[in-house]
Amino acid sequence: MGTVTLGVSIAVPEPYGSLLQERRAGFGDPAAHGIPTHVTLLPPTEVDAERLPEIEAHLASIAALSRPFAMRLEGTGTFRPLSPVVFVQLVEGETDCDQLQQRVRDEAGPVPRELQFPYHPHVTVAHGIAEEAMDRAFEELSGYAAEWTCRSFALYEQGADAVWRKLCDYEFGSGRTISAVPAQGCSPVDAPAVSP
């Protein structure tokens, strides 16, 4: 049956998601429209496709035991020189995101995953582009702020075209799947996956 590359994240809702996605594209990041604006809970992880139902059940059970929480973005940060990333900082909701990502990656669950770096919830706005463009992203979004109530997280699959597409959202408190987070801007993230 083969493997699939999955990720779990909290989508940044509209109008903030599209705005940050368009800004990322404007900085020259070629991945901007293939990645919905998000806070990562599980980084790209290759798994056997046959394990997908088990992973979906695992995520639904985590969501069922979770409650909505406040999230707030404010200002910029960077992982440079360790990693070529500029991001908008998450200044409220970090603890909730940390607890969720630990549950998703739990070693007793279907997607145990070691992290390359300590977990630091954030919203990437530039990755792997020219230093001048990274500096511009850092400066131009330094005054950016947004806040909302997080009510779900989503499971995504990366297609053969490198585009991340949402498989489903999991609502906090019930674990039921929902379709509450639409595609952002020109993003094809909700379009059907392209077969290899």
The model's pLDDT over 170-179, given as tens digits with 9 standing for 90+, comes to 999 987 887 5
Q: Which pair of structure tokens corresponds to residue 10?
A: 């909290």
pTM for this one?
A: 0.88
pLDDT for the residue numbered 167: 94
- Output 98-101 pairs: Cβ under 8 A, ≥24 positions apart: 100/10, 100/41, 100/62, 100/66, 100/153, 101/8, 101/40, 101/41, 101/42
Residue 124 neighbours by CB under 8 Å, 6+ apart: 24, 35, 85, 86, 87
Rounded to whole angstroms, how far apart are CA atoms 47 and 3?
5
d(CA 45, CA 111): 8
| Mean per-residue pLDDT of the chain | 91
Mean pLDDT of 9-17: 97
**Which residue is associated with the tokens 């977990």?**
119
* Position 103, amino acid: R
How far apart (Å, rounded) are the C-alpha atoms in residues 137 and 147? 20
Q: What pLDDT is attached to residue 31?
A: 93
Q: Which residue has better confidence, 141 or 178? A: 141
> Which tens digits make up the pLDDT trace of 71-114?
999 999 999 998 999 999 999 999 999 999 999 999 999 999 99
Q: What confidence score (pLDDT) does residue 180 get?
A: 44
Q: Is 59:109 a contact under the CB 8 Å cutoff? A: no
Tokens standing for 169? 């959202």
The mean pLDDT value for 110-125 works out to 94
Cα gap 12→21, rounded to integer Å: 10
79, 122 in Cβ contact below 8 A?
no
